[in-house]
Amino acid sequence: MTDDILTNLSRAFDELALPAHAKLYLACSGGRDSLALAYACFLLYKQGKMIRLPTILHVHHGWQAANDAWMQLVHRWAIEHGFDCQILRITLAKNSETHARDARYQAFGLVMNQGDVLMLAHHANDQAETVLMRLVSGAGLQGLSGMKVWQAKTVHTDETTKTINLWRPWLKISRDQISQFAKAHALPYVDDVTNTDPAYARGRIRQDILPHLFGTQS
């Protein structure tokens, strides 16, 4: 399982062709998926299959009591493994998934330059959830497209508007594969209870719909 994870990511890097001027970042919440992606990068770097490690970006939302602990965990872990790490603090006007996501991208845009690349740990299960959410919300056939492995994202800040590149190398990797990888390497990830909270649309889909479709539990 570890070999599958690393082989997939190594091939993705081989196909990336990162522009010389572009800097590589990795969004890490401290959760299982993003910490596993960071650790996979660390292993490939140690094997000489990556020229440099990405800079880890952690967003402190300030809306849960545990946010300080998550921030400290990510920062400590990143430094111990040789990553540069930047903490980005945001203030949310309202507690919603969409608002939080937009605020995160705005924060990323403050530190990233035009053309830089941000690694995201979205996986195959996230893709299925995203398609269902879009269909339920009335996106129609357009919703079937789901998330793209490579996406140019325009972000707006107070100072400027710029385009950054979002890269999702694990869209064909399952949550179960990542869970086994994280367990095998005893990664100290945190569980965000909002991911399965039925108060949020994604939480309801993850808990109530997908298990019935695929005969599994999240």
- Ligand-binding annotation for 84, yes or no, is no
Q: Which residues of the chain have pLDDT under 70?
A: 1-2, 63, 94-96, 134-145, 193-218
Distant-in-sequence, close-in-space partners of 46: CB < 8 Å, separation ≥ 6: none
What's the predicted TM-score (pTM) here?
Answer: 0.85
Q: What is the pLDDT of residue 96?
A: 67
**What are the residue boundaries of the structural domains of the chain, listed by start?**
2-214
Distant-in-sequence, close-in-space partners of 207: CB < 8 Å, separation ≥ 6: 196, 198, 218
Q: Report the percent of the chain where pLDDT is more than 70.
A: 79
Distances (CA, A) of 70 to 10, 11, 44, 176, 182: 28, 30, 25, 23, 17
* Per-residue pLDDT tens over the stretch 51-68: 899 999 999 987 677 889
- Ligand-binding annotation for 14, yes or no, is no
Residue with tokens 């009591």: 65
- CA count, 13 A, side-chain hemisphere, 150: 9
Distances (CA, A) of 173 to 5, 67, 148, 188: 8, 27, 14, 20
- Ligand-binding annotation for 202, yes or no, is no
- Ligand-binding annotation for 31, yes or no, is yes
155 in Cβ contact with 108 (< 8 Å): yes
- Ligand-binding annotation for 76, yes or no, is no
- Ligand-binding annotation for 33, yes or no, is yes
116 in Cβ contact with 163 (< 8 Å): no
Distant-in-sequence, close-in-space partners of 44: CB < 8 Å, separation ≥ 6: 6, 9, 10, 13, 50
Relative to beta strand 117-119, strand 24-27 is: parallel
Fold assignment, 2-214: Rossmann fold (3.40.50)
